[in-house]
Amino acid sequence: MMINEIDGVDWESMGHAYGPASDVPGWLRGMASTDPGVRDEAFSHFYSAAHHQGDVYLCTVASLPFLFEMADSPEAPDRASIIGLLLSIGQTCLGMDPEAVYFAPDGTESRAHVDALAVIGGRAEVFVRWVRDRDRLVRRPAIEGLGLFLCDSARAVEVLRSLLPGSGMVERLLIVRTVASVALRDAAVHGAAASWLAALAGNTTEAPEVRLAALVHRARCTPGEIGDAVVPAAVGLLREITPGESGRDDDGSCRAGAEPGVAGGSAPAPGVPPQVAAAFEDLERQGRVHAPTTSVLSALHTLLGDRVLERTALLAEQLRSAAPAVRYDAIRMARDLIAQWRGDHTGLVVLLAGCLLPEDAYTSAAAAEALGSLGPVSEPARESLASYVEAARAKHGPRVWAAPERLVRRAHQEAVRALAGLGDLRALPSVLTALDEGTDAWRAVQVAGHLGEAAGELTPRLSKLLAEVDFSDSSQSMSAGALVSALRELADPAAAPALASAVTAAVRQEQWGTAVSALNALASFGAGSAFALEVVRPLADVQDLHVRAAATAALWALEGDAAGVVPQLVELLDTHKQSEAVEVLGRIGQAAAPALPRLRKMLTAGYEWTRVYAAAALWDIGGDAEASAVVETLLMAWAENDATSNHVLACLNRMGPAARPALPRVREELTLLRRSGRFRSISNDEELLATCRAITARS
């Protein structure tokens, strides 16, 4: 076998993402191991180093002959994964400019992507055999590889079409998609392939899933010609899809109702914050696909783009589907549509709420998580969330937040978090249970700040948890930050002593980020935190600029002495904390007039955010005399970077009639379909729209 010749390659002369490629032959041998653990580790190392984030190196090219040999060997224990790796390498190379020169990690010029494609193209004939392999897991990546790498497009289409009868559902959908991909790549077969897809879409003897795929990929072949009939046709085909008798698709993908690959009650590794462990679990969960048609429907949504009403109609049908897997995968698609596009999404939110099924905790957890991510837009689901939360407490008891069944626990927690995000006190009992008993308390802390009406019960508990944080342990900084944020949101001055103690402890352990957050929280209570001046005042002169800026801002909030803090804030204008200093100067108002010359100069800064902060402060300090320059600066920065829009509009709103020259741009914003605002988040965009409406209502 060729694998025995692996040591004849000068791997040491090559490199990968992390250094010399001398470890690559060990990984290649590991891929052929009969031990699943060894194989998994080998693939993981190769992907992370020799195919790092999709990169292709000389060592990647040198590995290809060995990968092809293993993929073609009946004795290889995981041929599907090897072909999947070949497919990934080839797809990366096809996406790179063949005329471009890239650079290897050692800085030398590299055209490894061209060399890799030459190797794969020279061996592409083997995909014709692999697509007929007995192992369906081998056939799947081979189908895509055939369409991508076989030079003879007409033959590729012929082979693919011949595979359709008798193939499993997943393979049939892959065949349809791959035929369209070949047609898009080669005009010589475009017409014939498009005609075949059209005929397949209209063939009533075919399964509705296949007809749906043909309909979508026929439209994909001519994206500029998508008519009004495509979505109604897709909806009609969706209605014909029914779940299999076993509840599983023929590809073995998990169905709604079971969570694969996660051990119940598993705890994060020592030293790993639970928030980080949960984030990785969420990433893995989001990568799951439950229905074979999900990729087809995703392609249709991509094709429809900004046709939000049609996409909403399609998603409504997906969320009503009789097939649980179709319905489950639609949850994420609906969330993404609402997150990216403006409009009245009440219907979709109500349908998401309809996925809160007491008998199906897996689907309920996904629906509740999606609703929680939608912020204020989830309001129409309030009563459904409350009913689900209360039903779970009635069925599983008051400690359902810590239920031993992992799915029941997660579904309840997500529903409680979504309900709390709406400020609904019906979430409070479970939040209190979490804080008192400690199970997944961090999840409750993240939403506790929304329950301001219950500050009397929450503030003592959160303050106690903050006092228990070990600031010498950096892994607890995320928990400390979340506790501080929750106490600030609750706006209960009773939290001030705990926050002052947190400032002292964080500074002592040089946990500057937590110290800054706690100082900002103290400042939000104003004169109610004046007792903490002896803690805050010395920090206004410390070396760390983050802490110095936050302490100076807190001094102003706690004692209101403009003369004492304005000189310090002006000094900070010459540091990387100038934005924070400018914001405080704006809050001080007219008493910060000594800063005006410096702020006017900042209007010419190259960084648009600096100009926005300076312009807003100029208005707050100088008023009408600065209006013309302020409006001009804000509009220019907004045009340059729409992420500034929330800050720009907040200032324009404060300006009242002086902001009249900005009205055309404000009105234009209200006509745009795509969400905008800081981080393009739903909450920021909804705030932006509300501010735009307030400004235009006064005109």
Least confident of 19-28, 253-262, 513-522, 544-553: 253-262
Q: Which phi and psi (to 5°) does residue 20 adopt? A: -60, 150
At residue 253, the pLDDT reads 37
Share of the chain above pLDDT 70, in %: 95
Instruction: Tell me the C-alpha distance between 681 and 374, whole Å.
Output: 9
Least confident of 110-119, 236-245, 560-569: 236-245
At residue 266, the pLDDT reads 47
pLDDT in tens, 605-639: 999 999 999 999 999 999 999 999 999 999 999 99
For residues 247 and 255, is the Cβ–Cβ distance under 8 A?
yes
- DSSP-derived secondary structure for 179-246: HHHHHHH-HHHHHHHHHHHHHHHT-TTS-HHHHHHHHHHHHHHSGGG--TTHHHHHHHHHHH----TT
Instruction: Tell me the C-alpha distance between 316 and 349, whole Å.
Output: 10
What does the block give as tokens for 467?
């006092």
The gap between the terminal CA atoms of the chain, to the nearest Å, is 80
pLDDT in tens, 341-384: 999 999 999 999 999 999 999 999 999 999 999 999 999 999 99
Using alpha carbons, select from 692, 626, 611 the residue that is nearest to residue 658.
Answer: 626
Using alpha carbons, select from 120, 102, 3 the residue that is nearest to residue 56.
Answer: 102
Instruction: Tell me the C-alpha distance between 201 and 214, whole Å.
Output: 5
pLDDT in tens, 121-168: 999 999 999 999 999 999 999 999 999 999 999 999 999 999 999 999
Q: What is the mean pLDDT of the chain?
A: 94
Task: Specify the 3-state DSSP secondary structure of 572.
Answer: helix
Strand pairing partners for 16?
19
For residues 440 and 431, is the Cβ–Cβ distance under 8 A?
no
- pLDDT at 10 > cutoff 80: yes
Ramachandran quadrant class, 19 (left: phi over 0; alpha: psi -120 to 50; beta: rest):
left
What DSSP designation does 607 have?
S
pLDDT, average across residues 161-186:
96
Q: Which amino acid is at 305?
A: G
At residue 279, the pLDDT reads 85
Least confident of 1-10, 287-296, 461-470, 553-562: 1-10
Q: Report residue 284's pLDDT band, with 50, 70 and 90 as the boundaries.
A: confident
Q: What's the predicted TM-score (pTM) here?
A: 0.91
What does the block give as tokens for 289?
């696909």
- pLDDT at 426 > cutoff 60: yes
pLDDT in tens, 239-283: 999 876 333 343 333 444 445 443 334 455 667 888 888 888 888
Using alpha carbons, select from 678, 673, 670 the residue that is nearest to residue 696.
Answer: 670
What does the block give as tokens for 388?
């689900």
At residue 277, the pLDDT reads 86
Q: Are strands 102-103 and 109-110 parallel, antiparallel or unpaired?
A: antiparallel
Q: Report residue 406's pLDDT band, with 50, 70 and 90 as the boundaries.
A: very high
